[in-house]
Amino acid sequence: MTQKILILQGDGIGPEIVAEAVKVLHWLVGEGLDIEFDIGLIGGSAYDASGHPLPEETLQQARAADAVLLGAVGGPQYESLERSLRPEQGLLGLRSELKLFSNLRPAILYPQLAEASTLKPEVVAGLDIMIVRELTGGIYFGQPRGVRTLENGEKEGFNTLVYRESEIERIGRSAFEIARQRGKRLCSVDKANVLEVTELWRQVMTRLGAEYPDVELSHMYVDNAAMQLVREPKQFDVMVTGNMFGDILSDAAAMLTGSIGMLPSASLDANGKGMYEPIHGSAPDIAGQGIANPLATILSVAMMLRYSLCEAGCAGRVEAAVGKVLDRGLRTPDIATEGQATVNTADMGDAVVDALAEEN
Ligand code: NAD
């Protein structure tokens, strides 16, 4: 059955990097991949065209699609808009409307780029971790929340860390399934020694573990997990955790790799439908210059093939092609070491397509 991909270029470097990812998809279509494209507007460009960062039409297109590929949104020209009209609200709106509760953030460091990390190359070269973060619950959404004034006049801020069994089970299943497709090791991160809600988290994960005997489940307190990520990150395969812990750990893990232009991400719903995007933003400082690194977006396509389109073979080919262009020394300026020759955005996209074609 033909699967439908919605392409949302967004703002800044969005159109430049998405164009290269679409080149890769077109090449795969030529090889028999059965997909069709739809194109929509989001973020600042949607605001410019329609007065809203997430037009109703885009929402309908996204609901009708099997997967969404997004560039990035935002730009200084939109910063003075009222909050509900800012580009980022388009993105947040789409995530919540599509109920994308499972956020997959890989931290991959291609051995060829080990010098880009702030850690020693031997600690990070070949790093390949997947952090699965719960995205629509936990302390970022829990009620009650606010700032109140106490009887003595002092102010008190409060938020609520709350997870239902069903929410934990849902993200747990998502993580176990992903671990099954990778190295079959899952580390659940909590603070069960202090927080009752994460004691429940650990119980549910343990219960679920019995249903996935082929996946080795371990548990780790979040403070230790933070420490282990910088001490010996290659010990991890898949990590699963709640919204706030995941927010912090996934940023730390991404920075282990030192190259923001290389990292893809996915946000999935309960049926595997997903939105795929690079972790970086719209980079207004380099927009329009044709020098942005398109590899994070191309690797987002690989994730889309693997997690929404059930095309693991194609996903592997795209990832291998990216490895090959790096082996050959092709570098956009963000991943080049001093004095190294660089290529532009379109050349990098073409090189990935050429590397794909060579495999045939
Ligand atoms: P950014 O990620 O856009 O840029 C940070 C730095 O990394 C910049 O120097 C930029 O040039 C560089 N960079 C980013 N992507 C690159 C790439 N593919 N190739 C080469 N260099 C790259 O973060 P920022 O500057 O803090 O934010 C810029 C805008 O993006 C803001 O409006 C912000 O709100 C928005 N933003 C959007 C998203 C998203 O769409 N998911 C995420 C983060 C930030």
204 touches 168 (CB < 8 A): yes
Please work out whether the CB of residue 349 comes within 6 Å of at least one atom of ligand 1.
no
Return the closest-CA partner of residue 35 out of 73, 3, 70.
Answer: 3
Predicted pLDDT of residue 360? 62
**In this predicted model, what pLDDT tens digit does every residue of 204-257 receive, in sequence order?**
999 999 999 999 999 999 999 999 999 999 999 999 999 999 999 998 888 888
CA 179 to ligand 1 center in whole angstroms: 29
Predicted pLDDT of residue 135? 93
What backbone phi and psi angles, to 5 degrees, belong to 241? -160, 175
Residue 155, SS3?
A: strand
Tokens at residue 293, please?
A: 């690194």
CA 170 to ligand 1 center in whole angstroms: 31
Please work out whether the CB of residue 229 comes within 6 Å of at least one atom of ligand 1.
no
Please work out whether the CB of residue 71 comes within 6 Å of at least one atom of ligand 1.
no
Return the active site residues: 140, 191, 223, 247, 251
Please work out whether the CB of residue 105 comes within 6 Å of at least one atom of ligand 1.
no
Contacts of 139 (CB under 8 A, 6+ apart): 159, 160, 161, 162, 242, 243, 244
Euclidean distance between CA atoms 17 and 7, whole angstroms: 12
The closest residue, in CA terms, to atom 30 on ligand 1 is: 281
Please work out whether the CB of residue 258 comes within 6 Å of at least one atom of ligand 1.
no
Q: Among the atoms of ligand 1, which is closest to the Cα of residue 281? A: 3
Please work out whether the CB of residue 280 comes within 6 Å of at least one atom of ligand 1.
yes
The closest residue, in CA terms, to atom 11 on ligand 1 is: 283
Tokens at residue 354, please?
A: 């050429």
Return the closest-CA partner of residue 79 out of 332, 292, 281, 348.
Answer: 281
Domain map of the chain by residue range? 1-104+261-360, 128-256
Name the maximum alpha-carbon separation found in the chain: 75
Residue-wise DSSP of 227-267: HHHHH-GGG-SEEEE-HHHHHHHHHHHHHHH--GGG-EEEE
Number of H helices, E strands in the chain: 12, 12
Alpha helices per DSSP H over 120-164? 121-124
Alpha-carbon distance values, 227 to 92, 223, 231, 237, 249 (Å):
30, 6, 6, 16, 10
The closest residue, in CA terms, to atom 6 on ligand 1 is: 283
Please work out whether the CB of residue 282 comes within 6 Å of at least one atom of ligand 1.
yes
Predicted pLDDT of residue 181? 87
Predicted pLDDT of residue 254? 85
What residue ranges of the chain have pLDDT lower than 70? 360
CA 281 to ligand 1 center in whole angstroms: 3
The closest residue, in CA terms, to atom 8 on ligand 1 is: 283
Euclidean distance between CA atoms 187 and 237, whole angstroms: 8
Same fold, 1-104+261-360 and 128-256: yes
The correct answer on CATH 3.40.640.10 for the domain covering 128-256 is no
Please work out whether the CB of residue 107 comes within 6 Å of at least one atom of ligand 1.
no
Residue-wise DSSP of 285-298: TTTTTT----HHHH
Euclidean distance between CA atoms 258 and 213, whole angstroms: 35
Q: How many residues does the chain have?
A: 360
CA 73 to ligand 1 center in whole angstroms: 9
CA 64 to ligand 1 center in whole angstroms: 28
Euclidean distance between CA atoms 192 and 204, whole angstroms: 12
Tokens at residue 201, please?
A: 């988290």
CA atoms within 13 A on the CB side of 326: 19
The correct answer on CATH 3.40.718.10 for the domain covering 1-104+261-360 is yes
Residue to probe by mutation, ligand 1, list 103, 282, 297, most atoms within 8 Å of CB: 282
147 touches 114 (CB < 8 A): no
Please work out whether the CB of residue 334 comes within 6 Å of at least one atom of ligand 1.
yes
Cis omega (within 30 of 0) on the bond before 144? yes
Euclidean distance between CA atoms 311 and 307, whole angstroms: 8
Residue corresponding to tokens 């890989």 = 106
Q: Among the atoms of ligand 1, which is closest to the Cα of residue 10? A: 40
CA 187 to ligand 1 center in whole angstroms: 30
